[in-house]
Amino acid sequence: MSRSRTDSIADDLEEMIFTGQFKDGDRLDEIRLAARFNVSRTPIREALQRLVSSGLAAQMPRRGVFVRQPGPVELLEMFETMAEIEGVCGRLAARRISDTALQDLAAANARCQDAIAARDTDGYYRENQLFHQIIYRQSGNGFLEKEALRLQHRLKPFRRIQLRLRGRMAQSMAEHETIVSALTDGDAGRAADALRDHVAVQGEKFHHLMSHLKSSA
């Protein structure tokens, strides 16, 4: 599957928005971007359209496209939605999960523990992400899985931050254990609640962190 110029430009622009190189409201100038990427406006415009459809930018006809960083309210809404979606995945997965997947979850959890012991935040993040992706997959619903992956990707830059809170990784691990136990028992309600709470607390931690940073600025 070859990647067109447009694809990589879209990814680069997304990364730039994620890393805050573009502030909220900035206009994404077609000509300037074309110059920066050494291409014509055409692939730039196609990449911009993608940003718009994924919600990272907004288009105003005849005016241009502007980056649209979510404010605190929208961020909470996104985390709440993610929490609910993950809860749904857990509920379905509790009834459908395979034994090998349960082993995979345990293995991912073990690697999470190792990463904590090694103070390897990146590693923890990666394995934690995998843990959740296994559950999406085990919902047994490919469409739901794709939606969950999309949201997970969208929240990536915000989820990373809350991991830095003291003790958060250890707490997160404990929650993972609860989730695995519920899934092992096939307890749909408990799995849904555990996953929902696990993700919801991420949103709350993030919110605390944000308001703390803001008040200390």
Partner DNA sequence: ACGGGATTTTTTGTATGCAAAAAGCTTGAC
Partner DNA sequence: GTCAAGCTTTTTGCATACAAAAAATCCCGT
Minimum distance from CB of 87 to a copy of itself (Å)? 8
**Segment 80 to 119, residues that bind a copy of itself, using CB under 8 A:** 80-81, 84-85, 87-88, 91-92
Tokens representing residue 62 in the block: 């005849």
Kindly identify the residues of this chain, within the stretch 32-91, that bind DNA according to CB under 7 A.
38-43, 45-46, 59, 61-64
Smallest separation, CB 150 to DNA (Å)? 22
Minimum distance from CB of 26 to DNA (Å)? Answer: 11
Place of tokens 């940003």: 51
**In the numeric block, which tokens belong to residue 151?**
């949201």
**Between the CA atoms of 126, 74, 146 and 202, what dihedral angle is there, to the nearest 10 degrees?**
30
- Of 63 and 166, the one with the shorter C-beta distance to DNA is 63
Question: Residue 19: helix, strand or coil by DSSP?
Answer: coil
Written as one string, the DSSP assignment of 71-134 is -HHHHHHHHHHHHHHHHHHHHHHHHH--HHHHHHHHHHHHHHHHHHHTT-HHHHHHHHHHHHHH
**Window 153-212: residues binding a copy of itself (CB under 8 A):** none
Considering only residues 63 through 82, tell me which ones interact with a copy of itself, judged by CB under 8 A. 73-74, 77-78, 80-81
In terms of C-beta density within 10 A (0-12 exposed, 13-18 middle, 19 or more buried), how is residue 93 classed?
A: buried
Enumerate binding residues for a copy of itself (CB under 8 A).
Answer: 1-4, 42, 45-46, 49-50, 53-54, 61-62, 73-74, 77-78, 80-81, 84-85, 87-88, 91-92, 141-144, 147
Enumerate binding residues for DNA (CB under 7 A).
Answer: 2, 4-6, 27, 29-31, 38-43, 45-46, 59, 61-64
